[in-house]
Chains A and B, each alone.
Chain A
Amino acid sequence: MSGTIRVLAAAAAIVLWPATALAHLVTTGLGPFYDGVSHFALTPEDFLPAIALALLAGQRGSRAGRLALFALPSAWLAGGLVGLALPTIHTATLVTTLSFLALGGLVAAEARLRPEWVTALAVVVGLLHGYLNGAAMAQAKLGTLGLAGIVSTLFVAVALAAAMVVAIRAPWGRVAVRVAGSWIVAIGLLLLGWSLRAA
């Protein structure tokens, strides 16, 4: 076997050999903080409810937006710390499905909730999803740094989405937000279908 063929065979072996399997969470290679950032951004189970809540808060005005901006990440962090300490439940499709349906439905209906109710909703959603994130972080050994990455990204996402909706004045813009809510409900209904099918 000539040297060239040996080298090409070695190249083929490297190319075709799969990399080590990375279980559970996306690993960026940049450390736990950025793994948390990427986890939130790439996980619709967490990302969509957070965005839906931000849209809802934006629909209810700047006060609701400001309250949700601090309530949601704070509750998410608190729930996450509990999840890190007591990681007994790792997945809860029911929580995700209900979040999609309830929050998306409220956005689609442009529900006239008082800012205090939006804040209470943010606390509940934050605690539940934060707990699940914390449990996942504990399993993946990302710890508090991973959770910090998630909460930081959540803060930025909520700030951007809520502020964008508060600033909308054009009627079609308000309609677009409601359409986004209906899409989230639709995804939640399909997720419910997938869950029931798997059960």
Chain B
Amino acid sequence: MTRGPLAVLTVLATLWPSLAFAHTEQGRAAGLLAGLQHPVSGLDHVLAMVSVGLWGAQLGAPAVWLLPVTFPMVMAFGGMLGLIGVPLPGVEVGVALSGVLLGLAVLAEWRPAVWAAAPIVGFFAIFHGHAHATELPAGASGLLYSVGFVVATGTLHVVGIGIGVIHRWGWGRVALRATGGLVAAAAAFFLWRAFA
């Protein structure tokens, strides 16, 4: 027996991690990672979520914090409806339409009252939750998937608000409105595809 294979055997046997964790801990990491990955894997969802932050930044206080506080809760409510089997017609259309309208709101720098803006965003949040929250990989943890899903979606809002900081400068306001136009155009493509 040569020293090389023996060394390989020793190193593999020493460094290889334990593989099986039975029962309650099974699939937890997979669930968390799937939940974190899912919201950023669909461009339609990403565009709408970032737009929520962009629009909030344009609207300023109190909308800039009211929208990110209310959106996850309403989105999760939509997810819960999906999980318990309550049907919601035209989910994909609703998701795409949310991107179009939010993009247009940013493009036009539309400034409705907060009591009007929050229900608009909340209405579309139900579609996003219904469409995405239920797509749990087999064997993964539902709770950890939910944690990852909510954290990733909230982080997209924060990214949108962060980008929206440029609104304080003149060139930034123009750039922000142009970004809204791009979002609306891209979401219009998803809308067309949803109907196709």
Interface set of A (CB-CB < 8 Å, partner B) = 3-4, 7-8, 10-11, 14-15, 18-26, 42, 44-45, 48, 108, 172, 175, 178-179, 181-183, 185-194, 196-197
Contact partner, B2, options A3, A22, A23, A48, Cβ 8 Å: A3
In the complex, the answer to whether B154 meets A7 with C-beta atoms within 8 Å is: no
Q: Is the CB of A178 within 8 A of B69?
A: yes
CA distance A190 to B77 in the complex (A): 7
Say yes or no: B76 contacts A19, CB within 8 Å.
no
A108 pairs with B5, CB closer than 8 A? no
Of the candidates B6, B9, B80, the one whose C-beta lies within 8 Å of that of A189 is B80
A189 with B79: CB separation less than 8 A: yes
* Cβ-defined contact, A44 with B144, below 8 A: yes
A-B contact pairs, 30 of them (CB 8 A): A3-B2, A4-B5, A8-B5, A10-B9, A11-B9, A19-B19, A21-B21, A22-B21, A22-B25, A24-B23, A25-B24, A178-B65, A179-B65, A179-B69, A179-B72, A182-B68, A182-B72, A182-B73, A183-B72, A183-B150, A183-B151, A183-B154, A187-B150, A188-B76, A190-B80, A190-B149, A192-B80, A193-B82, A194-B143, A197-B83
B13 at the interface (CB under 8 A from A): yes
Known: A178-B65, A186-B150, A190-B149. Contact between A23 and B6, CB under 8 A? no
Given contacts A7-B5, A24-B25, 13 further A-B contacts (CB under 8 A): A4-B1, A7-B8, A8-B8, A21-B23, A24-B23, A24-B24, A172-B65, A179-B65, A179-B72, A182-B69, A186-B146, A191-B142, A197-B83
A-B contact count (CB 8 A): 134
Q: How far is the CA of A193 from the CA of B79 in the complex (A)?
A: 7
B149 touches A7 (CB 8 A): no
Interchain CB contact under 8 A, A189 and B77? yes
Return B143 CB to nearest CB of chain A, in Å.
6
